[in-house]
A = this chain, B = another copy of it.
Amino acid sequence: MSNDIEWIKIAFQGERGAYSEAAAVAFFGEEIIPLPCESFDEVFTQVEAGESDYGVVPIENSLAGSIHRNYDLLLRHELFIVGEVNLRVAHHLIALPGVKLEDVRHVYSHPQALAQCERSLAALGDVEKVPTYDTAGSVRMLKDRGIYDGAAIASRRAAEIYGMSILASDFEDNSQNYTRFLVLHPQEVVPQGIAKTSIVFSVENEPGVLFKCLSVFALRDIDLTKIESRPLRGRPWEYFFYLDFAGSMQEERCRNAINHLHEITTFFRNLGSYPKAT
């Protein structure tokens, strides 16, 4: 046993300063080694290969909806959900130090961030919206290329990391903008306190079968917090169902519900029990 601090490695999609990095810091604290990845696939692969201790990926935004790619990747990889983070997405208009609001002719960001700041951008007058692959990556690009007639929409953290100025804060049109992130790990955890569990299953396509699946929870007063369906590839108009429910696999009534569910499903996987985000 040593007192050395072991900084944990966290993989996430995007450049340093991405919202996923802010989610990782919210969950683990500042003592992390960030591992920026090009794609969500790479995040899963890095954690699976042991190159990173944990992965952090967005799963759902309160305005735009689910990030379906990550639902599909949960099934394709053998990782467990060990935590979740709700992050308020606060967009900032960021530029090189010295740039004034009236100098800005082009605004760079991910298409979704541009869309979420539509009214604020319109108020700037005649500026060109330039879609890019990444919010924080746009800030980095302004810096790397020395662009003085442009600004980027990204997190406060991105401005700090790249030593940039914030021209406008809380730049988003709708403040009810939250993203829920999942923390991924090769091993399951036993959650303390209020827990959630995520599962995925498929069923034979017969009348009333989804009702039967939900009944195993309702009959035991277990609250469902999310249902999502994704196509079953190769079987048109059949689906995988992803469910989140309140409770953990440590609780008998949850285990009973899952045993009951097994009687109905043709495929089932436990994606993990984890502490519910506050």
Interface residue ranges, A against B (CB under 8 Å): 60-66, 68, 86, 174, 176, 178, 180, 207-208, 210-212, 214-215, 217-218, 221-231, 233-237
Contacts and interface: CB of A to CB of B under 8 A. Distances in A.
A68 B65 CA distance: 9
B233 A176 contact: yes
Contacts of A233: 62-63, 174, 176
A231 B174 contact: no
Contacts of A63: 231, 233
12 contacts: A62-B235, A64-B231, A174-B234, A176-B236, A178-B237, A208-B223, A211-B211, A211-B218, A211-B224, A212-B218, A225-B237, A228-B229
**Copies per complex of this chain:** 2
By Cβ-Cβ distance, the 8 closest A-B pairs, closest first, are: A62-B236, A211-B218, A207-B223, A211-B214, A208-B218, A178-B236, A65-B231, A176-B234
Contacts of A228: 229
A226 B119 CA distance: 35
Given A208-B221, A223-B208, A236-B178, A231 B68 contact: no
B211 A227 contact: no
Contacts of A60: 231, 237
Contacts of A236: 62, 86, 176, 178
A176 B176 CA distance: 39
Given A65-B68, A214-B214, 19 more contacts: A60-B237, A62-B233, A62-B236, A62-B237, A63-B231, A63-B233, A64-B231, A86-B236, A176-B234, A176-B235, A178-B237, A208-B217, A208-B221, A208-B223, A211-B211, A211-B215, A211-B218, A226-B237, A227-B229
A206 B224 CA distance: 9
Contacts of A180: 237
A63 to B, nearest CB: 6
Contacts of A215: 211
Contact of A61 (B217, B226, B231, B235): B231
A226 B222 CA distance: 23
Contact of A224 (B210, B217, B231): B210
Nearest to A246: B207
Among A207, A221, A222, the most chain B Cβ lie within 10 Å of the Cβ of: A207
A225 B236 CA distance: 12
B221 A62 contact: no
Nearest to A233: B63
